[in-house]
Amino acid sequence: MSQGQERRSEKLLPVALLGLGILLQLAGCSPPPDPVVCTHGTSNCTVTNTYGFFLCPAANVTYPRTEKELVAAVAAVAAVKRKVKVATKHSHSIPKLACPGGHDGTIISTARLNRTVRVDAEKRLMTVESGMLLRDLIEAAAAEGLSLPHSPYWSGLTIGGLLATGAHGSSLWGKGGAVHEYVVGLRIVTPAPASQGFAVVRELGAHHPDLDAAKVSIGVLGVISQVTLALQSLFKRSVTFVKRDDSDFADRVAMWGRLHEFGDMIWLPQQGKVVYRQDDRVDVSTPGDGLNDMFLFRANPTRATIAARAAEELLQENSTDTARCAAAQLQADTLERLAYGFTNDGASFTGYPVVGYQHRIQASGTCVDSPEDGLRSACGWDPWIPSSFNDNSGFSVALSKAPAFIADMQRLRDLNPAVFCAGVDPRIGVAFRYIKASSAYLGKAEDSIAIDIVYYRSHTAGMPRVHADVVDEIEQMALRKYDALPHWGKNRNIAFNGAISKYPKANEFLMVKDRYDPDGLFSSEWSDQVLGINGSPNITKEHCAIEGLCVCSKDSHCAPEQGYFCRPGKVYAKARVCSFGKDY
């Protein structure tokens, strides 16, 4: 082999490894580790999230198995006025929702509050404990001939966690795609005076005025014990993915969600394409036993995951836009060819439409389902191995403003489409889901389109990512120009700065918070900053803009020693982003 051929092979190696990472899947899997780790039994603990983004100390953790034990756990901290936070089984939120603050706080884990309490099939009501995984909830409902109408796409969330952050699927039909819209009752344990034993259970029915505060609460009101959901009779869905040119994307965004009950979109900016999900309810007698088993949520062989991450790092740190775009094209084409993990019978894909029962289509997450295999395989983001490490910016723009926002993003793309090959995860592109206006105080005030952008993150603090200014400009454009609302369970610090002022009923929420937890035991420095009570989530220091801790106002907030300087946005001139000197 000639030297030229060797160099070409070396350049193509990371591309091939990234494609291989999609194709190799295993039946076994090491489930994600417990987010809470203690050195002395249940004392001297730390809590993190499933990605290992943060590590917070705590004095101790409790694992209540019943509501009575949960009340006792809350009473114990309330009696001594100790800070407390709730942790879930897998802890998927990116912000520090589970950090009590300082070294003296307590963590209450809902991992063992994971049972079905009751099912009323005739009234189509189901009550579950708050630590129950979405996966188990939808399967238990299906066994009773019922369906949860909408849910997030990842089934490894708990019902309490997804309610706290306002997690959702995609729909403008009926009550919309957010799970909290189907909550008709819940029981929440909050601190109380000594005369009431330091903790009480508050039961909130469908018409209780506080339900709109409790069903999206970012965990600052107390601990949800049980949730009652209004379900529907078991139904089927028919799914087809259609890829089109993006020339009319801005015009179609407002109408697609009206045409298809579960419709969503994936924009592939570097290709100039949009993948439209044509997803509708069909009669239960329609033939088909399809399954949604998304590749990104399957178990990956550990060696393949490590190799894929190494290839990704090589493309980021020592490659060209041409090579990055080749890798992006390969990954996108591979996922399209494999129908994104959808199969017609649970085993193979034979063509669209894929028809299946709601509980087999609405969410997936098999990498947390499988038995332990000694870490020979794991979820693709498992922190125990050098795995995928990404940030996720998630925000919603009012549907009335969405066409103009998309047109602005396309203008930015048209300046240099190749920069999106590194700026945005090519497996996901820019994802769009629909959310209906909600009565929840921390929900959406009007019909909106939710945008998700996943992108590379270095394990080295302060290390710039290639073409980071693309996502940063889009994010600032959305939040500032189009008044976007951040997803409570995603995002870097900058997305939350001043966000609470955009919620018309924020004051009503804070009044409920003051009544339920007057001493702020379930609050933290982070939640106080986000809710506008005290301080700002922004942290200004060297390299802060690289980490999403601040919006740069001077070069030192970027990485000038590596050629990254603070510059205005290229389309949204009011943005301030860290741009590589040669690119600007």
Per-residue pLDDT tens digits for 30-57: 678 889 999 999 999 999 998 889 999 9
Q: Report whether pLDDT(320) > 50.
A: yes
Position 509 in a domain:
no
SS3 content of the chain, % helix, strand, coil (to 5): 35, 25, 45
Written as six digits, the tokens of 558 are 């970027």
pLDDT tens for residues 351-396? 999 999 999 999 999 988 767 888 888 888 888 888 889 999 999 9
With H, G, I as helix, E, B as strand and everything else as coil, classify residue 348.
coil
Q: How far is CA 472 from the centre of its chain?
A: 18
If you average pLDDT over residues 75-94, what whole number do you get?
96
91 & 199 share domain: no
> Looking at residue 77, which CATH number applies to its domain?
3.30.43.10
Please give the single-letter amino acid code of residue 390.
N
How many separate helices (H) and strands (E) can be counted in the chain? 14, 26
Res. 7 pLDDT band, cuts 50 70 90: very low
Q: How far is CA 233 from the centre of its chain?
A: 28
If you average pLDDT over residues 388-417, what whole number do you get?
97
> Looking at residue 184, which CATH number applies to its domain?
3.30.465.10
Query: For residue 454, which of 364, 390, 380 has the smallest C-alpha distance?
Result: 390
Q: Report whether pLDDT(273) > 50.
A: yes
With H, G, I as helix, E, B as strand and everything else as coil, classify residue 379.
coil
Structural domain ending residue among the three candidates 233, 251, 272:
233
User: pLDDT value at position 378?
Assistant: 87
483 & 557 share domain: yes
> Looking at residue 306, which CATH number applies to its domain?
3.40.462
100 & 152 share domain: no
Q: Report whether pLDDT(325) > 50.
A: yes
Query: How many distinct structural domains can be found in the chain?
Result: 3
Domain that holds residue 244: 236-369+381-495+538-580
Percentage of residues of the chain with pLDDT beyond 70: 94
Q: Cα dist. 183→175, 178, 204, 439 in Å?
A: 11, 10, 10, 12
Q: How far apart are CA 136 and CA 134, in angstroms?
A: 5
Position 500 in a domain:
no
The residue to which tokens 């959702």 are assigned: 168
Position 342 in a domain:
yes
Please give the single-letter amino acid code of residue 31.
P
The span from the first CA to the last CA of the chain, in angstroms, equals: 39
Percentage of residues of the chain with pLDDT beyond 90: 86
Q: Report whether pLDDT(10) > 50.
A: no
User: pLDDT value at position 510?
Assistant: 98
User: pLDDT value at position 29?
Assistant: 57
Q: How far apart are CA 568 and CA 41, in angstroms?
A: 52
With H, G, I as helix, E, B as strand and everything else as coil, classify residue 392.
strand
Residues linked to residue 60 through DSSP beta bridges, in sequence order: 43, 106
Q: Report whether pLDDT(2) > 70.
A: no
Res. 25 pLDDT band, cuts 50 70 90: very low
Position 21 in a domain:
no
Please give the single-letter amino acid code of residue 414.
D
243 & 326 share domain: yes
Long-range Cβ contact pairs of 335-342 (< 8 A, separation 24 or more): 335/22, 335/295, 335/427, 336/241, 336/243, 336/275, 338/22, 338/295, 339/241, 340/241, 340/294, 340/295, 341/292, 341/293, 341/294, 341/295, 341/296, 341/297, 341/298, 342/239, 342/290, 342/291, 342/292, 342/293
Res. 551 pLDDT band, cuts 50 70 90: very high
Q: Cα dist. 129→18, 66, 70, 173 in Å?
A: 40, 9, 11, 27
185 & 257 share domain: no
User: pLDDT value at position 12?
Assistant: 46
| Half-sphere exposure (Cβ direction) of 243: Cα atoms closer than 13 Å | 13
103 & 133 share domain: no
246 & 392 share domain: yes
Q: Report whether pLDDT(104) > 70.
A: yes
CB 184 within 8 A of CB 54: no
If you average pLDDT over residues 542-564, what whole number do you get?
97
Q: How far apart are CA 429 and CA 265, in angstroms?
A: 10
Structural domain ending residue among the three candidates 69, 91, 109:
109
168 & 218 share domain: yes
pLDDT tens for residues 417-457? 999 999 999 888 999 999 999 999 999 999 999 999 999 99
Q: Report whether pLDDT(17) > 70.
A: no
275 & 336 share domain: yes
Res. 19 pLDDT band, cuts 50 70 90: low
Query: For residue 48, which of 127, 124, 107, 104 has the smallest C-alpha distance?
Result: 107
Average pLDDT across the chain, whole number: 93
DSSP track, 254-293: HHHHHH-TT-EEEEETTTTEEEEEEEEEE-TTSS---EE-
Question: Which helix (DSSP H) or strand (DSSP E) does residue 343 occupy?
Answer: strand 342-343
278 & 306 share domain: yes
